[in-house]
Amino acid sequence: MPSSDKLVDAFNAQLGRELGASHLYIAIATFFDGEALPRLATFFYRQAAEERDHAMKFVKFIVDVDGKVAIPAVGAPKAEFKGAEEAVATALESERAVSRNIFDLVELARQENDYFAQRFLDWFVNEQREEEATMAGLLQVVRRASGVPQGLFHVEQYVARTGGGPLESPAATEEHGG
């Protein structure tokens, strides 16, 4: 069943935003690489690849519903950061913006009565919850470490232990079936 042109256009715009997020994460990763913080750099390089994968999910969906993929121009991301806190705060704000965009897409899919699109977007809603929690947790750790001697090295250890996300709580384990 084809999706409406309006929905396909909105999905194409989101495809561009996902690619833009990927570029932003590359910029953040290279900032951490330049600061000799390899675990933070690797974390953000992985995030960049994940955002590209998200863009490809939109490509696949558009193709599957007989839409025309129209990849929009993607502007250059912010490339200069005053420090780790600004870099991670920028990532968190980016995730919050993506969440707002996904919520707008869900609303549009509802208005269009496009159940395929609604189910497709369910995955992104859950993903954004995880992405925001991960970046908020990482920012909290970076802020906590900012006044500590060698604080960013502690953040590096945190990223090594957790992959950058918040430690899993017992409640989360129960939620996912233990």
Mean of the per-residue pLDDT values for the chain? 90
CATH number at residue 116: 1.20.1260.10
- Reported confidence tier of residue 157, pLDDT bands at 50, 70, 90: confident
Q: DSSP states of 97-153 as a string? A: HHHHHHHHHHHHHHHTT-HHHHHHHHHHHHHHHHHHHHHHHHHHHHHHHTTSTTHHH
Give how many domains the chain has, as a whole number: 1
Q: What is the pLDDT of residues 50-81, one digit of tens each?
A: 999 999 999 999 999 999 999 999 999 998 99
Judge contact between 10 and 72, C-beta under 8 A: no
Instruction: Write down the pLDDT at residue 178.
Output: 46
Residues of the chain with pLDDT > 70: what percent?
90
Neighbours of 141 (CB within 10 A): 21
Expressed as residue numbers, the domain containing 20 is: 5-175
Q: Which residue has the tokens 């159940």?
A: 115
Q: Provide the whole-model pTM.
A: 0.88
* Closest CA relative to residue 172, chosen from 136, 126, 140: 126
